Structure 1
Amino acid sequence: MSVGFVMMCHTALHRAAQVARHWAERDCPVVIHVDQRVPRSAYNGLKSDLADLPNVKFCGRHKCEWGTWSLVAASQTASEMMLAEFPSVRHVFLSSGSCLPLRPVDELRAYLMARPRTDFIESVTTEDVEWTVDGLHSERFQLRFPFSWKRHRRFFDGYVELQRKIGFTRRIPDGLVPHLGSQWWCLTRQTLSAILQDPARKAHDRYFKLVWIPDESYYQTLVRKYSTQIESRSLTLSKFDFQGKPHVFYDDHLHLLKRSDCFVARKIWPRADRLYETFLTDPDRGPVMAEPAPGKIDRVFSKALERRTRGRAGMYMHSRFPNPDWENGKTAAPFSVFQGFNDLFENFETWLERRLGTRVHGNLFDPARARFAGDADVYAGCLSAAAKLRDYNPERFLTSLIWNTRGERQVFQLSPRDRQRIGAFLASDGNAQISVITGAWAVPLFTSNKDFQTIRKTAALLQKSEVDFVNVLRRVQTRADVRIWSLAEFIEEPMENLQTILDSIGGPSSGARITEAPRMVDLTGFGQFLQNLKNQGMNPHMTGDFPVEYMQPPSQTDGARPYLVR
C-alpha cells in the first residue's frame, strides 16, 4: 500500500522541489499542479529539477485564484492523474508547495495502513463552524459569487447585498448537506474516485463553481455522501489568525512543530533553512505511532492571538494607539496617588518612603516640572522632568513611568494646583489607588501669609478644580480604587485613615501598625481662616464642617498606639 501526494504550487518552487523529492525518493508518488500564472521558465526549471524521478508527474495547469473554483479544478485535475497513473496508491494526501513533512514517510504510511478505509478531512456543518470570517456562513451556499473578492471587491460586495435585498436563494443539489472544513485532506482511493466519477459530478461542479471559497466545502460536502468512515480532522497542521490568515512558521518554531506530532505543516517560510534541513532528514525514531496532536501547541497560538489582538497591559500598539479604550489595561502595574497629604503633613514623601520601603515621587504633574523622587531630571526609561514634554501627552507619560518601573510600586502626589488632564485617565484605570483629602489645598494658603484677596481668588480656583476631579472619581464608570475624605473628616482619625491606606497598598509592611507618625501642620487658627473666607464670599465647602475654634485633641501617651504630633 502506498500514499500519494498532490501538491498545489505557485511560489517558492525550489522548496516545493525539495519536498517532492523527499516524498518521491521514499516510494510516494507525487503529482504537482503549478499555477498557470507562474512563468514558463520557472515551471520548466521545476520539471527539470525533478526529471530524474519517474514517480513525479505534472498535471494540466489552471490559473488559480483564492476563493474561487479554480483551486478545486486544479485539485481535481491532479487527483485524476494520481488515480490513473498510480494504481497502487490507496490514500491521496493533498498538500501545498509551502507544506513540510514533520515525520518520516514510513510513519505516515504505517499510520494509514492501520486505517485503510478512513478518510481524514475536516467536515462540519455550517451551524458548528465558528472560524469563518466576514459573516458568510450558510450564505456561501445560498447566494451566487461570480466575482473575485480580491480583484473585484466592489462588485463582490454589491452583488451580495443585491441578492440579500431581493431574497435570492440557490437550490442545493439533492442528496447534499453543506459542510465546511480545512482544504487540506487525506482521502482513500475509494472515496476520492467516487467523488470524481460520480454521474452527478457535472451538477455538483456547476453548483460549487458559484459557492464562496469552494475548496473549503466541495470535498468536505461530497465526502459525506461516499465515505464509510470519516475522521473529521486534518493530518496537516495549519493555524490561522483572527483574520483568517494562515500563520507562517519560521525557524524559531522548530520545537513547536516537533511537539505537534502532525505529519505535515503549512505554511512554512521559504527561507526557514533550519526547518527544511531538520525535517527533510529522516531521524532514527524507531516505531512511533503517536496521534497527531495539534492541540499540544494550541496554548501557544492562543497566547499569540491574545497578544496580537489585546496586547499587553500598559503597552500601546501602534495599530490601536489612536483608538481610545482599545488597550488591554491602561497601565502595567498598580500604583498609588495621594492628593492633599503633602499639604496636611510636613515631609510626607520622606515619611511615606520609609514606611513603604520604596521611592515616592512628589507632584508628577506640577506645572513647573515633574517632581520625580530625589528631584531627578531624568527618570526610568529616560523620562524627562520637563513639563513641556510631559504635557504633550500626560497619559503616555504616566503609562511609560509605570511600564519602565515594573516590579516597583509607583507612588506620587497630586494637587488641584497640578495639570488636571490626567484626572479622567486615573479614574478609568483599575490599577490606580487614589486617596484624596478634599480641602487640604487650603492649608498652604493658610500658612502663606499672602494678601487675603489673592488668597480668596486662589482658593476659589483650587476648589473648583478639586470639585471637578472629585466628580470624575465619583462617576459610575470609575474603575480606580478611590478613598475620599474631607479635611475635617480626616483629622478626626488621621492614624486610622493612614493605616487603612497603607494596608491596602500591601508590601513588606502590610498589616503592621504604624509606629512612626508624620507631623501634621499646625492648624491653630485654621478654623477662623476658613470663616474669614466665608465672610469674604468664598465658601470652602470641600474642607468639610471644620469648627471655627479648633481644639487640638489630647495626645496619647500610654504607648498602646502611635499618636500624631500636631
Structure 2
Amino acid sequence: MSLGVVILVHNALGRATEVIRHWALSGCPVVVHVDSAMRPARFERFRAGFDDISDRVLFCDRHRCEWGGWGIVAATQSGARMMLDSFPEVAHVYLASGSCVPLRPVSELTAYLAARGDTDFIESATVADVPWTVGGLSEERFSLRFPFSWKRQRWAFDRYVALQRRLGVRRRLPAGLVPHMGSQWWCLTRGTLEAILSDPQRPALDRYFARVWIPDESYFQSLARRWSKRIESRSLTMCKFDFQGKPHLFYDDHLPLLRRSDCFVARKVWPRAEAIYAQMAAGGHAAETAEPAPARIDRVFVAATERRVRGRAGLYMQSRMPNENWENGFTAAPYGVLEGFAELYEGFEGWFARASGATVHGHLFAPEGAAFEEGATLWRGGLSSNAVLRDHDARRFLTNLIWNGRGARQVFQFGPRDSQHVSWDIAKDPNARIGVISGAWAVPLFRSGRAVADLRDTAARLQKTEADHLGVLRSPYAKARVRIWTLAEVLEAPSEALAQMLADIAPSRVGVLPDPPPMLPLDGFGGFLQEMRNRGMHPYLTGDIPAEPRTRPRRPAPKPYLVSRPNA
C-alpha cells in the first residue's frame, strides 16, 4: 500500500460516497474531512455509510471550511496528520475533494507514483510568475491581513483592504519564507508532508497564513519548497478555470476530452454526470503508462472561454445585462450606410439594389418609423418598423438587423432628419461602409415648395445635426470606411460617388457601371440656397453652389491672319 488519499467533503454526499469507496476498494486508505457546517445528524448518517470498510476509511477532526479562509488548510492538516499516523506504509498522500473523480485505474496512479518515489507533485510558483490570479490581489494577499470573509462579509472585506492600502500596511514574512502559489490539489511524499507538519516554525507560520487570503493555494505550496527534495510543479488533478478564476464544471459531454487528457483525476465533476461516474465505477479509462497531458485539451477550453467572453460577431453575451463592449465585433457582417443619395436621385434604392445585389432599405431611423425594403412593417427576426420599439434600444435594432440579414449585404439610408442614436456606433464599426453627400438634406426642403422663411430654422437644425455627425465620422475613434462628398462635388461629377460606393459595398461586382439613376430636377436650387444665405442661414455643408447656373464662357472666334508672300 503506497498511496493514501485525504478527501475534503462538504456537499453532494451521495457522489462523495461513491468516490471514497472507489479509492478505498482500490487499495488506498482514505481520511475524510467533513465541513463542520454540516448538521451533526447528517454527518453521522454519512459516516455510517462506511462502517463496512471502517479500517480503510477514517474521519478526522472537523473544521469550518469557507472559501478563501484558513479552515481549508486546517482541515487538510488534520487529515494529513491522521493519514501519516494511522497508515505508516503510505508513501504518497493525495489531496482530493468529494467531486474529484478518478479517470484512470487507481493501479496506474500507484504505479506512476512508485516509479517516482521521491517526487512531490505540487504546483508551486513565485507570485511574480503566477499569471492566473484574478481579482487584483497577488502580492497583497501576503502583505495585508484578511480577517473578514470575502463571501459573507464583502463590504467589510473591501473596506478593510482599502484601509490597509491607505495606511501602507505591510506584514512581515516569517523568517526564511518565500511565498509560492499554485493549485490546492497536490500529491506529496510522506517525508515532505511530515516535514511540513513538524516544521519548528509551524505555530508562527500558521498564525501568519491564517490571515493570508486563500491560504490553501499558498501554504503547502510555499512550505514544500522548504522541505521537498524534488518538486514537479504540476498537479496530477486536472482542474480548468474560466476567465473569472472559477473552476470549470465537467459534464458527460466532456468525457471524450477527459479521456484524451490521460489525467488520473478530474476536478470538478457535476454530480449528475452519470457517464463519468459510471466510467469510474467500471475501473476507469486505462491508459497504461501514458503521461498525463492536460495541455492536449487546453485549446478546447481556450476556444470555449473565447466564445463565452466575446461570443460570435454581432452577438452578445447571454445574460440579463450584457457587459458594454464585450462583444466580438459590434455587428455580424459588413453593411452600407448611404447618406444623401436617396435625396438626390430618383428611384435610388431600387437602382442600387439592382446594381449591387444588396438588400437596400430606406431610412431605418426615420422619426415616423423604420423604412424596411419594399415597405415591410415587419422584417426578419421579428424586427418591427415601429419607431418607439426601435428607439427603445437602437443599437440592438441595428445589430439584430445585420445579424438577421447576414445572408446578403444590408444597406440603409441615413441622414440628419433621422434618430442619431447609432451615429457613434456606425462610426466605430469596422464593418460599416459609409458614404455621405453633405448638404443633401437641402434638396427635400427645396422641393417642398415652401417659403424659405418657413424653412430657415429647419435647415439650421438639420445642418447642425449633420455637422455633429460628420465630426463623429472624422473622429480618431472612427473605424468605419467613410467617404464624404459635398453636394456641389456630386453635382459636378455625379457618377464618381456612385461608383465608389458600389465598389465599397459590393466589391465582388463585375462589369461596367450601370447608367446612374436620373437626378431630381434642381432648377433654381442655387437661388434657393442664396435666399437662405440672405436670411442669415449659411448652408456651408452643401459646398459652393452658385445662385445662377455656371455657363462656360464662349471662346472668341479666332482672328484671321494673312501670310504674305515675298515678291518673286
Distance 2:240 2:285 in 1: 28
The farther-off stretch of 321-330 and 52-61 is 321-330
Cα deviation for residue 241 of structure 1 reads 2.8
Seen in structure 2, the aligned counterparts of structure 1 residues 419 and 195 have a Cα distance that, compared at 3 Å, is closer
Name the structure 2 match of 1:519: 518
Name the structure 2 match of 1:181: 182
Cα deviation for residue 38 of structure 1 reads 1.4
Distance 2:64 2:533 in 1: 86
* 1:112-511 alignment, distance < 5 Å: 112-282=113-283, 285=286, 288-317=288-317, 321=321, 325=325, 327-509=327-509
Q: Give deviations 1:36-61, integer Å, cap 9, x for gaps.
A: 22122322222222222232222222
Distance 1:504 1:122 in 2: 54
Distance 2:156 2:67 in 1: 16
Do the aligned residues in 2 keep the contact of 1:330 with 1:399 (CA within 8 Å)?
yes
Describe the SS at the equivalent of 1:445: helix
Describe the SS at the equivalent of 2:72: helix
Amino acid at match of 2:149: S
Do the aligned residues in 2 keep the contact of 1:380 with 1:405 (CA within 8 Å)?
yes
Distance 1:451 1:162 in 2: 69
Seen in structure 2, the aligned counterparts of structure 1 residues 374 and 79 have a Cα distance that, compared at 3 Å, is same
Amino acid at match of 1:145: F
Describe the SS at the equivalent of 2:269: coil
Describe the SS at the equivalent of 1:89: coil
Seen in structure 2, the aligned counterparts of structure 1 residues 324 and 25 have a Cα distance that, compared at 3 Å, is closer
The farther-off stretch of 189-198 and 345-354 is 189-198
Distance 1:49 1:253 in 2: 30
Gaps of 5+ in 2: 553-568
Q: Give deviations 1:469-525, integer Å, cap 9, x for gaps.
A: 22332233323221110011123233232222222224531x643133222223344
Give the percent of matched residue pairs that are identical in Structure 1 and Structure 2: 57
Do the aligned residues in 2 keep the contact of 1:499 with 1:513 (CA within 8 Å)?
no
Distance 1:534 1:307 in 2: 56
Distance 1:347 1:239 in 2: 59
Q: Give deviations 1:254-294, integer Å, cap 9, x for gaps.
A: 23322322211112222222321233322574x53222222
Describe the SS at the equivalent of 1:52: helix
Distance 2:538 2:158 in 1: 64
Distance 1:534 1:166 in 2: 66
Distance 2:140 2:448 in 1: 75
Amino acid at match of 1:91: H
Distance 2:353 2:51 in 1: 78
Structure 2 residue 71 is the aligned partner of structure 1 residue 70: yes
The farther-off stretch of 179-188 and 451-460 is 451-460
Distance 1:194 1:289 in 2: 31
Q: Give deviations 1:445-464, integer Å, cap 9, x for gaps.
A: 33343444435454344333
The farther-off stretch of 270-279 and 120-129 is 270-279
Aligned residues: 551
Distance 1:119 1:2 in 2: 14
Seen in structure 2, the aligned counterparts of structure 1 residues 384 and 263 have a Cα distance that, compared at 3 Å, is same
Distance 1:415 1:162 in 2: 53
Q: TM-score, normalised by structure 1?
A: 0.90
Cα deviation for residue 183 of structure 1 reads 0.9
Name the structure 2 match of 1:540: 539
Cα deviation for residue 223 of structure 1 reads 0.8
Do the aligned residues in 1 keep the contact of 2:452 with 2:531 (CA within 8 Å)?
no
Amino acid at match of 2:503: D
Cα deviation for residue 10 of structure 1 reads 0.9
Q: Give deviations 1:113-170, integer Å, cap 9, x for gaps.
A: 2222111001111111222233332333333334433344444445444544554443
Cα deviation for residue 33 of structure 1 reads 1.1
RMSD, aligned α-carbons = 2.6
Distance 2:459 2:148 in 1: 70
Cα deviation for residue 111 of structure 1 reads 1.8
Cα deviation for residue 236 of structure 1 reads 0.9
The farther-off stretch of 310-319 and 138-147 is 310-319
Amino acid at match of 2:432: A
Q: Give deviations 1:292-316, integer Å, cap 9, x for gaps.
A: 2222232333333334444444334
Amino acid at match of 1:385: S
The farther-off stretch of 487-496 and 318-327 is 318-327
Distance 1:28 1:223 in 2: 23
Distance 1:6 1:115 in 2: 20
Name the structure 2 match of 1:106: 107
Seen in structure 2, the aligned counterparts of structure 1 residues 552 and 404 have a Cα distance that, compared at 3 Å, is farther
Describe the SS at the equivalent of 2:15: helix
Cα deviation for residue 15 of structure 1 reads 0.6
Distance 2:290 2:384 in 1: 57
The farther-off stretch of 76-85 and 133-142 is 133-142
Cα deviation for residue 408 of structure 1 reads 2.4
Amino acid at match of 1:345: Y
Amino acid at match of 1:272: A
Amino acid at match of 1:234: S
The farther-off stretch of 224-233 and 44-53 is 44-53
Seen in structure 2, the aligned counterparts of structure 1 residues 104 and 413 have a Cα distance that, compared at 3 Å, is same
Distance 1:468 1:150 in 2: 48
Describe the SS at the equivalent of 1:78: helix
Distance 1:161 1:418 in 2: 48
Describe the SS at the equivalent of 2:52: coil
Q: Give deviations 1:176-225, integer Å, cap 9, x for gaps.
A: 22111111001112211222233443333333233322211111111111
Amino acid at match of 1:96: S
Describe the SS at the equivalent of 2:51: coil
Q: Give deviations 1:376-424, integer Å, cap 9, x for gaps.
A: 1100110111222223332222122112223322100113332333323
Do the aligned residues in 1 keep the contact of 2:364 with 2:371 (CA within 8 Å)?
yes
Seen in structure 2, the aligned counterparts of structure 1 residues 259 and 459 have a Cα distance that, compared at 3 Å, is same
Seen in structure 2, the aligned counterparts of structure 1 residues 122 and 350 have a Cα distance that, compared at 3 Å, is same
